[in-house]
Amino acid sequence: MGLNKYLRPASRPPKALLLVIFSSIVASAGALIALKNTFEDSHAVAYEILKLKAAIRPLPVPTKAEQERHEQWIKLQAERSFDWYPIFLALERASSEDIELLEFRPDKANRQLVLRGEARDMNALTKYVEQLAMQRILTQPYLSHQKNASRDALQVISFEIRASIVAG
C-alpha cells in the first residue's frame, strides 16, 4: 500500500492559483513592454537634445563700436518717442506778451527743462513762473538766474528758469 500514493494521478492545482499565475505573466509582459517603450522614448529625447545642442551656436560678443552704436540707437529711439506736445502746450498756455523766450533746452534723460529769455519787468517774470507752476507737465519751476539787461532802447530782465518734466 505504500506505493499507491505514487501511482495515483497527480491532483490538479486549484483554478484560482492558475488564474493568479496567468495574470502575473500578463502583467509582467505588459510592464516589460512599457519599460521598453519608455527606454526607447528616453533615447529619442536624448538624441534630439544632442542635435539641438550641436545646432546652438554661442552668440558673438559685440565689439565696443557695436555697443556704442546700440546705445546711440537707444538714445535716438528715446528722442523720437518723446512726447513734445504736452510741453509745448504748457509753454503756450503760460506765455505772455511781456515774456520773450530765446532758448528752450530740454534734458529728456534727466527730465529737466531750461528756459532762457527776457521779461519786460520783474512782475511779468514772476507771473510767468507762476503760470508755469500751474501746468501739470512741469513741476517745481524756479528762477535760477536773472539779470538786468538793455535791449535796443528797452531795459529788460534776462532770465533762466528751470523745471522738472513730469513723466508721462
Domain extent for 101: 83-165
Do residues 45 and 87 both lie within one domain?
Answer: no
Do residues 88 and 45 both lie within one domain?
Answer: no
How many domains does the chain contain in total? 2
Q: Which of 150, 130, 152, 151 is nearest to 141 (CA)?
A: 130
> Which pLDDT does position 14 carry in this prediction?
78
Q: Which of 15, 167, 155, 153 is nearest to 81 (CA)?
A: 167
Q: Is residue 161 assigned to a domain?
A: yes
Q: Is residue 66 assigned to a domain?
A: no
Q: Is residue 75 assigned to a domain?
A: no
> Which pLDDT does position 123 carry in this prediction?
93
Q: Is residue 25 assigned to a domain?
A: yes
Give the model confidence (pLDDT) of 78-113 as tens digits. Answer: 778 778 888 899 999 999 899 999 999 988 778 899
Do residues 39 and 91 both lie within one domain?
Answer: no
Positive or negative CA dihedral for 83, 87, 142, 133? negative
H-run or E-run covering 138? strand 138-151
Do residues 49 and 100 both lie within one domain?
Answer: no
Do residues 53 and 101 both lie within one domain?
Answer: no
In 61-137 the beta strands, taken as DSSP E runs, fall at 99-107, 112-119
| Count of beta carbons in the 10 Å neighbourhood of residue 116 | 15
Average pLDDT over residues 53-73: 87
The residue type at 15: K
Cell numbers 518723446 label which residue? 82
Q: Is residue 69 assigned to a domain?
A: no
Average pLDDT over residues 38-44: 90
Do residues 49 and 123 both lie within one domain?
Answer: no
Cell, residue 115 = 528756459
pLDDT bin (cut points 50, 70, 90) of residue 168 is low
To the question of pTM greater than 0.85 for the whole model, the response is no
